[in-house]
Amino acid sequence: MAKVPRNFKLLEELEKGEKGIGDGTCSYGLSNGEDIFMSDWNGTIIGPPGTIHENRIYSLKLYCDDNYPNNPPIVHFISRINLPCVNQHSGKVESSRLSCLSQWKSSNSLEDILVDLRREMANAVNKKLPQPPEGSTF
Amino acid sequence: MATPPLPKRIIKETERLIADAVPGINAKPHEENLRYFDVDITGPEQSPFEGGVFKLELFLPEEYPMSPPKVRFLTKIYHPNIDKLGRICLDILKDKWSPALQIRTVLLSIQALLSAPNPDDPLANDVAQHWKDNEQEAIAKAREWTQTYAERKMSKIGI
């Protein structure tokens, strides 16, 4: 397959995100619609039903460096959340503790990360973890 | 992962782009990805983009030439058919694409779009509205942006 350059891959992801992905439980977009290098992104995850996260809306920020998609994005939660893969001081998603990031492939996307994080929230081990007050931020 | 060989058509188009260059257009493939081109287009004379050199990037997807090239501006430009991320509204890049067209024809069409902005088929709605409401003022702003973001600083490089 032809290797899609960073900017054109991000443009594709942007267009997909603008149309809306999956069932709408995960979404993302550019933080600054005029940023020609498309480095900073916002993400949103709606907490999965039947878990402590139900009805909560989580905001995240994702940063794609010059080597994206060879390098995975750097991902932070803005909304406070208690999850084993999230650093409790900074909100950073620890790459080594989320399979989508630790086994990152250049064909992966921002959507894959959000979907994987939502899966973590619903994971039997995590779904009842006590959570910080709704609306608090890192 | 081994890169598959480049289709003959792309090799030929690239050779011709370099050997028989179009005036005002420069296109050079990246060494590590021969489907990915750095492009410079000189603003056409008598257009608000005159005096500017605009950087673009072009990518030939796997399906090329059955699918059109992907192109966008990297230099900021005030034009009704080009949005804030440099994406271009041009029919041959979408539904009017034909495999008989080439990289060369695409770049010539983009150069022509700079000479003839089309506010009736806008991508940047606010810019198109400006063009329709007050064409002179919109052109003045396009000229100002050309000077700010695209002007070749001839004196500084001693040409």
What digits encode the pLDDT tens for the residues A22-47? Answer: 888 999 999 999 999 999 999 999 99
Nearest to A83 by CA among A12, A132, A13: A132
Q: Is B89 a catalytic residue?
A: yes
Chain B residues in contact with A67 by the CB 8 A cut-off are none
What tens digit of pLDDT does each residue of B104-118 get? 999 999 999 999 999
Chain B residues in contact with A14 by the CB 8 A cut-off are 85
Q: Report, as an integer, the average pLDDT of A54-78.
A: 97
CA-to-CA distance for B15 and B125, rounded, in angstroms?
38
Count CA within 13 A, CB hemisphere, residue A43. 28
Distance from CA of B156 to the nearest CA of A (A): 26
Contacts of A37 (CB under 8 A, 6+ apart): A7
Q: What is the model's pLDDT at position A24?
A: 87
Distance from CA of A33 to the nearest CA of B (A): 7
Helices (H), A20-127: 99-102, 110-122
* Phi-psi domain of B158 (left: phi exceeds 0; alpha: psi -120 through 50; beta: other): left
A interface test, pick of B6, B9, B36, B94 with most A CB neighbours within 10 Å: B36
Write out the two tokens for A111.
């959507």
Contacts of A116 (CB under 8 A, 6+ apart): A98, A99, A100, A101
**Could you state, in order of their start, the residue ranges of all structural domains in chain A?**
25-122
- By CA distance, what is A1's nearest residue in B? B62
CA A50 → CA A14, A115, A124, A127, B135, distances in Å? 30, 17, 11, 8, 57
Contact state of A7 with B72 under an 8 Å Cβ cutoff: yes
What tens digit of pLDDT does each residue of B39-87 get? 999 999 999 999 999 999 999 999 999 999 999 999 999 999 999 999 9
Instruction: For B31-119, list the strands marked E by DSSP.
Output: 33-42, 53-59, 70-73
Check pLDDT > 70 for residue A3.
yes
Q: Does A8 touch chain B (CB under 8 A)?
A: yes
Residue A124's pLDDT band (cuts 50, 70, 90): very high
Name the residue among A1, A5, A34 with its Cβ closest to that of B36. A5
Q: What is the model's pLDDT at position A5?
A: 97
Q: What percent of chain B has pLDDT over 70?
A: 94
- Which residues does residue B104 pair with via DSSP β-bridges, in sequence order? none
What tens digit of pLDDT does each residue of B121-131 get? 777 788 999 99
Residue B2's pLDDT band (cuts 50, 70, 90): low
> Right CATH number for A25-122 from 3.90.79.10, 3.10.110.10, 3.50.50.60, 3.40.50.12780?
3.10.110.10
Q: What is the model's pLDDT at position B156?
A: 47
Amino acid at B114: L
Check pLDDT > 50 for residue B158.
no
CA-to-CA distance for A20 and A9, rounded, in angstroms?
17
Chain A residues in contact with B59 by the CB 8 A cut-off are 4-5, 8
Q: Does A49 touch chain B (CB under 8 A)?
A: no
Contact state of B57 with A3 under an 8 Å Cβ cutoff: no
Question: What value does the mean pLDDT of chain B take?
Answer: 92
Name the residue among B3, B4, B59 with its Cβ closest to that of A8. B59
Question: Does the structure's ipTM exceed the value 0.85?
Answer: yes
Higher-confidence residue: A9 or A18?
A9
Nearest to A72 by CA among A104, A44, A112: A104
CA-to-CA distance for A26 and A43, rounded, in angstroms?
7
Contact A30, A38 (CB under 8 A): yes
Question: What value does the mean pLDDT of chain A take?
Answer: 95
Domains and CATH numbers, chain B: 8-150 (3.10.110.10)
